[in-house]
Amino acid sequence: MTLDLYLIRRLLAACVMVLGVFVGMLLLLDMVEQMRRFSGQSAGMVQILRLSALNTPESLYEIAPLVLMLSAMWVALAWSRSSEFVVIRSAGRSVPRLIVVPALAFFAFSIVFVAVMNPLVASTTREYSRAQAQLRGDAGSAVIISGQDVWLRQADSQGQTVIFSPRAEDTGTVLHDVTFLIFDANDGLSARLRAARAELQPGAWSLHLVKQWNLSEMNPEQQATRSLRVTLPTDLTPEQIRDSFAQVRTVPLTQLPGFIAALERAGFAALEHRMRLNMELALPVLMTGMMLLALGLCIHHARAGGAGIRALITILAGFTLFFLRNFAQVLGETGQVPVMLAAWGPPVATLLLAVGLLLNLEEG
């Protein structure tokens, strides 16, 4: 148990060191990017620093498995240089047996990490988008799924329009039994439209079987008009509606199952959200597998040499796994492979590969 605790402490110390380096690098690079992005706006250094601080947790969360892998590589190379593993094996303790307890400990640590960082990233991402829109002076648009209902908001210099529909098609550009509430910038709610169907076209909503109320009249119902087709201008695009749902980082892990169910009840596709849910659940397995893979690649006898080559192979293996994971994510989100296979395949394969390498270290 003493050896297990010793290795856990070494790995934790290396994680803290590598994490600190990456936080500093990411924060500095993001500040440079924010200053370039908002060079035309009156954004002060405090606002730039706040934007970078809000954006850094998401970037750090994305590379967390790589941070853990580099930490394990650092410990394994230092362990090999000091020949500690040779002493341990000569005492009758195999390297795979020594790593079992630290692996379980870091698997539990990974679960806690995901449970803490996931809601933190969701909240900071929402706040980052809000602060970014404020600096740009963009009123923007919003898409909300509530139960079985779909709510959209579009805004321009003349006012805002709130759109409500109990059902939408999977593209989000065709709404059924839809209501438009038009708010004037000065007079407030000025008109209401009810349509059997609304289709988003370039620059306009095309409404079919429309009843329109002018709420500035004394008796709106008496003055209501009916039309077969009405066109309303809009700055919404299919990409904006899709991207509103694509930002799954803004939805905490505990709320994702309910959000997926609400999306599907409203008629939207939820493949991307299902993929994100399974990837978040599989993240502890991936982090543990990458840590074990780094140990398996870098633990060797100091006299054998080749420490630089082993470090390079470990780094290349880490980036390759990231590429394969992202590629599998795209395949899962587009429905070309099952979501469970795309989300859990790379982490489980990484873990099995790491276990195979560690067992190969054991002679006999």
The per-residue pLDDT for 144 is 56
Determine if residue 200 is left, alpha or beta; phi over 0 gives left, psi from -120 to 50 gives alpha, anything else beta. Answer: beta
DSSP 8-state assignment for residue 303: G
pLDDT band per the 50, 70, 90 thresholds, residue 266: low
Percent of the chain scored above 70 by pLDDT? 84
Summary mean pLDDT of the chain: 82
pTM, whole model, 2 decimals? 0.73
| pLDDT tens-digit series, residues 234-256 | 877 776 666 565 467 777 888 88
The per-residue pLDDT for 364 is 43
14 within 8 A of 22, measured Cβ to Cβ: no
Extract the tokens encoding 314.
């470990």
pLDDT above 90 (res 216): no
d(CA 220, CA 58): 49
pLDDT above 70 (res 33): yes
Extract the tokens encoding 173.
């550009």
pLDDT above 60 (res 19): yes
Residue 156 phi/psi, 5-degree rounding, is -150, -170
245 within 8 A of 307, measured Cβ to Cβ: no
Question: Helix or strand or coil: residue 146?
Answer: strand
334 or 139: which carries more pLDDT confidence? 334
Closest CA to 348 of 295, 299, 294, 287: 287
The per-residue pLDDT for 191 is 87
Percent of the chain scored above 90 by pLDDT? 21
Q: Return the axis-axis angle of helices 307-333 and 339-361, rounded to nearest 10°.
A: 160
The per-residue pLDDT for 137 is 64
143 within 8 A of 172, measured Cβ to Cβ: yes
d(CA 262, CA 255): 11
pLDDT above 90 (res 282): yes
The mean pLDDT value for 73-90 works out to 78
The mean pLDDT value for 91-115 works out to 84
pLDDT above 90 (res 345): yes
The per-residue pLDDT for 232 is 87
pLDDT above 70 (res 47): yes
225 within 8 A of 207, measured Cβ to Cβ: no
184 or 146: which carries more pLDDT confidence? 184
Q: Counting beta carbons within 10 angstroms of the beta carbon of residue 301, is it exposed (0 to 12), middle (13 to 18) or buried (19 or more)?
A: exposed
| pLDDT tens-digit series, residues 172-196 | 678 888 999 888 877 778 889 999 9
| pLDDT tens-digit series, residues 105-123 | 989 999 999 999 999 998 8
pLDDT above 70 (res 170): no
pLDDT above 70 (res 146): no
62 within 8 A of 118, measured Cβ to Cβ: no
| pLDDT tens-digit series, residues 322-343 | 899 989 998 988 888 999 999 9
Determine if residue 268 is left, alpha or beta; phi over 0 gives left, psi from -120 to 50 gives alpha, anything else beta. Answer: beta
